[in-house]
Structure 1
Amino acid sequence: MDIFRLIQDIKKHLKLSFDEVERWFDKDKATLNYPPSNGGWTVQQILEHIYLTNFYLLILIEKGSKKAMRNYLNLDLNLEMQHYSFDKEKFDKVGEYGAFEWIRPEHMEPKGELNLNEIRSLISQQYHQCLNYLDLMKNGEGLLCKTTMTVNELGKINVYEYIYFLSLHAQRHVIQMKNNELEIS
């Protein structure tokens, strides 16, 4: 696996996902606040949920990146890169809305405590945090730390895969927001 290509692919995916999320902040109030008939969240609540989930994932990504950089001193990065393969299919279901049961923790549920401009600013900062971690671990160091991800039984995933997961999670909710908007029409 070419780790440099993987990092570039994750950067592209992040840009596409975050650009799509960004567009939703400019929707009219009726679209942002429409409660779907299935009892789900409004677009504004979904945007807050994306921020909250990113917040908690970025805590794990920060810890993982620090550990990966420490591990760089003691582990053979070249050996890790030689044996690494990215199982894209395993992750792609994460980006599909409704592809599997997803029970999120209560602390990731929107509470309505932030206004739209605050959420927008925070999500933008989170995007740049992800890019900074990818730049920090630009030589493959992100392979040197794995953390368990229970969602969809992904198991032990490395720091790059955590960042990709974060991007897929946003993509998943873009689909949900589109479904809300379609229902209004």
Structure 2
Amino acid sequence: MKSIENSVLIAQLENRVEAHLKESIESFQNLDEGLLLKPASNGGWSIAQCLEHLNTYSRYYLPAIQKGLANQRKKGTNLQFKSSYLGAYFTQLMEPKEKMSKMKAFKDHSPVVELDAYTVVAEFIEHQETLLKLLKASVATDMNAIRIPISITRLIRLKLGDVYQFLTAHNERHIVQARRNV
């Protein structure tokens, strides 16, 4: 795995997050509640469920990232990020593809059917804005040194840069899924 300058990686991730934010505001925020809650024609999740699934991840990872950044003892001296094998694997697994395989959501991240659609969309937008702030705050940190426990087991800890890449790819995967319902 090649290393990449923090500033380059952060710029790439910011572009993706800004695109997610823009699409959420332009495509989802003003949709009728019925459309937001309508299940996919293939029996999959509604738009609101896709976004709520992402909200469950943001509720875990954003505070964990904030804590990791706050606990960092000094500014990073290594401003080159290199993905771990596991981090690169998880990210690649989540990247949207032409033909995406279905995955079973973990119990803690499975959205219910009955949702307040507008609250879900607003929370998703807020999370994307927070993610952008955290990305900006990470440019001058050693993203190899900060380790974040993953949501499904605290025993596995990924590098901060891997967590950012996973979250962004995962968000995009489910935004693509939600977009199919519009």
TM score, norm. by length of structure 2: 0.74
Amino acid of the residue matched to residue 81 of structure 1? L
Shift of 1:172: 0.4
**1:47 paired to 2:48:** no
The answer to whether the 8 A contact 1:61-1:163 is kept is: no
Distance 1:14 1:139, change over 3 A: same
The answer to whether the 8 A contact 1:17-1:168 is kept is: no
Looking at structure 2, the residues matched to 102 and 149 of structure 1 have their Cα atoms a distance apart, in angstroms, of: 17
Distance 1:36 1:134, change over 3 A: closer
* 1:105-155: CA deviation from partner (whole Å, max 9, x where unpaired): 22222235652222222222212221222232221333321235589xxx7
Looking at structure 1, the residues matched to 134 and 33 of structure 2 have their Cα atoms a distance apart, in angstroms, of: 34
The answer to whether the 8 A contact 1:14-1:127 is kept is: yes
Structure 2 counterpart of 1:135: 136
Structure 2 counterpart of 1:120: 121
Shift of 1:4: 1.1
Structure 1 counterpart of 2:79: 81
Structure 2 counterpart of 1:162: 163
Query: Which of residues 62, 69, 88 in structure 2 aligns to 1:65?
Result: 69
Residue identity (%): 20
Q: Which runs of 5+ in 2 are unaligned?
A: none
Structure 1 counterpart of 2:95: 95
Looking at structure 2, the residues matched to 64 and 42 of structure 1 have their Cα atoms a distance apart, in angstroms, of: 33
Q: Compute the RMSD of aligned alpha carbons.
A: 3.0
TM score, norm. by length of structure 1: 0.73
* 1:23-44: CA deviation from partner (whole Å, max 9, x where unpaired): 2233344532332343221112
Matches within 5 A, 1:147-158: 147=148, 149=150, 157-158=158-159
Q: Which runs of 5+ in 1 are unaligned?
A: none
Number of aligned positions between the proteins: 171
The answer to whether the 8 A contact 2:28-2:121 is kept is: no
Query: Which of residues 10, 13, 17 in structure 1 aligns to 2:16?
Result: 13
Looking at structure 2, the residues matched to 86 and 31 of structure 1 have their Cα atoms a distance apart, in angstroms, of: 39
Distance 1:114 1:133, change over 3 A: same
State which structure, 1 or 2, has the greater radius of gyration over its C-alpha atoms.
1
Structure 1 counterpart of 2:38: 34
Which structure is higher in helix share? 1
Structure 2 counterpart of 1:104: 105
Shift of 1:47: 1.9
Looking at structure 1, the residues matched to 65 and 9 of structure 2 have their Cα atoms a distance apart, in angstroms, of: 17
The answer to whether the 8 A contact 1:65-1:145 is kept is: yes
